[in-house]
Amino acid sequence: MKFLNQFIMCLCLLISFSSFSQTSVNEYKYISVPDNYSFLKGNDQYQLNSLTVFLFEKNNFTVLNSLKNYPSDLATNSCLLLKSDLIKIKGFFKTKLQLVLTDCRDNIVFSSEIGQSKLKDFKKSFQEALRNTFVSVTELNYGYSGSITSPKPPLPSVVDKGTKKGKTPKTPAPLAPELQIVAPPKLATAPQVTDIENKEALLGLIIKPTISGYDFIDNITKKVMYSVQATMFENVYIIEAQSGIMYKRGNSWFREYYEQNKTIIETLKILP
């Protein structure tokens, strides 16, 4: 465990040289900040997490740190999000921190210069070191470029399958506005949610914890219907190999995703 921080630091430096040339931070629309860092004893100790949010927002990042401001386009494309983490590096008589940003596949997109502080007061020392890590963040001159977007291209193909008129990709174009107009009313979405709820009520799902999240298993066929991975947000999970997110409210589980210009929310039937 004592070598973990040194290992991560070396790994960051090795990978960052190749990743910087391939991926730009500007391609990501959102960034998440956890409520706690692994080297701290509690949430927002020394106000380090709050300060991280402040410094990101000061550098024009859109920060997500709670379920309340979880945007709908992120439910469609989780790769719009960068995850931030702060690593404490062992040092004598100095506080050393490094900021690391990873994408939806846990690839390192950016690692900052090591921020240092010689102050003796813990709170002041950690905050000064954190501010020094953001010197290299400021140099990025961040501005969202829109390179990583929600998977909109498949939408016309969905329209083609649902319409019997025409087989060329150009014909659905005039129909798109009609779908957008019809989608918002509750009557249009209600049948889809009801159908899904009826099917899942008959099958029933069993939840089994995994290393990174949960498996949702069909009680009859014993087939894994959904595998989800935990995110920075409490009770919010990314679905593997499927669109959308899974989240828990109270004792109920929901799957939310975007399809044919509509947000669809499925209530899952979970067996005890």
Domain locations along the chain: 4-138, 183-268
pLDDT confidence of residue 16:
44
State the Cα torsion 21-23-25-29 to the nearest 10°.
160
In the numeric block, the tokens 């593997």 are attached to: 240
pLDDT confidence of residue 51:
94
- Under CATH, what is the fold of the domain 4-138? Double Stranded RNA Binding Domain (3.30.160)
pLDDT confidence of residue 148:
63
pLDDT tens digits for the chain (272 residues)? Answer: 444 455 555 455 444 433 343 468 999 999 999 888 999 988 889 999 999 999 999 999 999 875 455 788 887 888 999 999 999 998 778 999 999 999 988 889 999 999 999 999 989 999 999 999 999 999 999 999 876 654 444 444 444 444 444 555 555 544 444 444 444 444 444 444 334 433 344 468 888 888 778 888 988 888 888 888 887 778 888 888 787 888 888 888 888 877 777 778 888 888 87
What does DSSP assign to residue 192? Answer: H
pLDDT confidence of residue 203:
62
CA 6 to chain centre: 27
Phi/psi at 214 (5° precision): -145, 155
- In this structure, are residues 104 and 81 in contact, taking their beta carbons and an 8 Å threshold? yes
Report the alpha-carbon distance of residue 234 to residue 35 in Å, rounded: 10
Report the alpha-carbon distance of residue 185 to residue 200 in Å, rounded: 24
pLDDT confidence of residue 149:
52
pLDDT confidence of residue 96:
93
Tokens of 181: 């107009």
Tokens of 225: 């219907």
Report the alpha-carbon distance of residue 240 to residue 222 in Å, rounded: 18
Among 180, 202, 174, CA closest to 258: 180
Strand partners, 218: 205
Report the alpha-carbon distance of residue 196 to residue 225 in Å, rounded: 13
